[in-house]
Amino acid sequence: MAKNSVLAIRYGHRVTSYAESYLNYRLYGEPDADLDIDYYFWVIRDGGGVVLVDTGFAPEAGDRRRRAHYGTPAQALPELGIAPDDVSAVVITHGHWDHTGNVRQFPRAQLIMTEAEYAFWTSSLAARAQFAAHCEPEEIELLRQARADGRLTLFAGQHTVAAGIELTEVGGHTPGQLIASVATRDGGTVVLASDALHFYEEVERDRPFAVLADLPGMYRAYDTLAQLAAQPRTHLVAGHDPLVRTRFASYAPATAAGAAASVTDLTRAR
């Protein structure tokens, strides 16, 4: 049995609104209100190595888009006792700018994403305004280069990264959005939903997020996540929800005092 530890690092924040975040929010007949959105990347550690799930946005892209930010993986990992060179694989859950921004910090890691996601973002459709708004072309170019260098693993359906770390393609939010299921040392499972689930309310109140590629696919992804959440000792981790920091315990080893406020231990659900 794999013994993985799983951390969420909150590296950014913005105040948005319900109307901006939920698809056709007026359908629900509720007043609009402010909504906090957090930005995370995730770290999976086992005996054998470190797997990074997404890389956050690049600081300059965050500035341009007026998001607050508190550090990149290369800055945050050393505070957790991890050298960036220890990262053997970087999982790219989807091609959006706030997930692909710091891939360049890991020039030796194997990159893993779905074939459908790679094919979409390297196609001419990705340049259309509704899609282009969510990606940074030079970051997609870097993926293209990684592929030419033999450093990009593409898969369809399911892929095992290492013992106890399984990726599943779900689509919906983007053409090849993936989720990661991680077996933990207590026999439980942590499901890193990334942007298949920005906010828990999407699944818990069946309310789709505003940015999407395929609405039936997004609903089916919510069904997949709900089925996973119904399994014993299985915990969903939403990709942008501040509730992650209340539903799980904070991670505060003595060595990471500086980063403790923004790191959550996903193996300790509360």
| Interacting residue ranges for Zn ion, rule: CB under 5 A | 96, 195
As measured in angstroms, the least distance from the Cβ of 93 to Zn ion is 8
In 120-240 the beta strands, taken as DSSP E runs, fall at 152-155, 158-162, 165-169, 178-183, 189-194, 234-238
Report the sign of the C-alpha dihedral through residues 213, 64, 144, 180, in that order: negative
Between 112 and 196, whose beta carbon lies closer to Zn ion? 196
Cα–Cα distance, 67 to 198 (Å, whole number): 16
Taking the least distance from each CB to Zn ion, the nearer of 46 and 54 is 54
Is residue 120 within 8 A of residue 175, CB to CB? The reply is yes
CB of 37 to Zn ion, least distance (A): 11
Residue placing its CB nearer to Zn ion in the complex, 65 or 233: 65
In the complex, least distance from residue 25 CB atom to Zn ion, rounded to whole angstroms: 18
Name 131's Cβ contacts closer than 8 Å, sequence gap at least 6.
125, 213
* Residue closer to Zn ion (CB basis): 2 or 23: 23
Cα 74 to chain center, whole Å? 17
Which residue number, 96 or 207, has a Cβ lying nearer to Zn ion? Answer: 96
Q: Is the CB of 84 or the CB of 239 nearer to Zn ion?
A: 239
| CA distance linking residue 180 with residue 161, whole number of Å | 10
Buried b / exposed e along 113-124 (16+ C-beta atoms within 10 A): bbebbbebbeee
Name the minimum Å distance from CB 265 to Zn ion. 24
**Minimal distance in Å, beta carbon 162 to Zn ion?**
25
Using DSSP bridges, classify how beta strands 110-114 and 152-155 pair: parallel, antiparallel or unpaired: parallel
Rounded to a whole number of angstroms, the minimum distance from the CB of residue 17 to Zn ion is 17
CA distance 152 to 247: 34
- Residue recorded with tokens 């920005």: 198
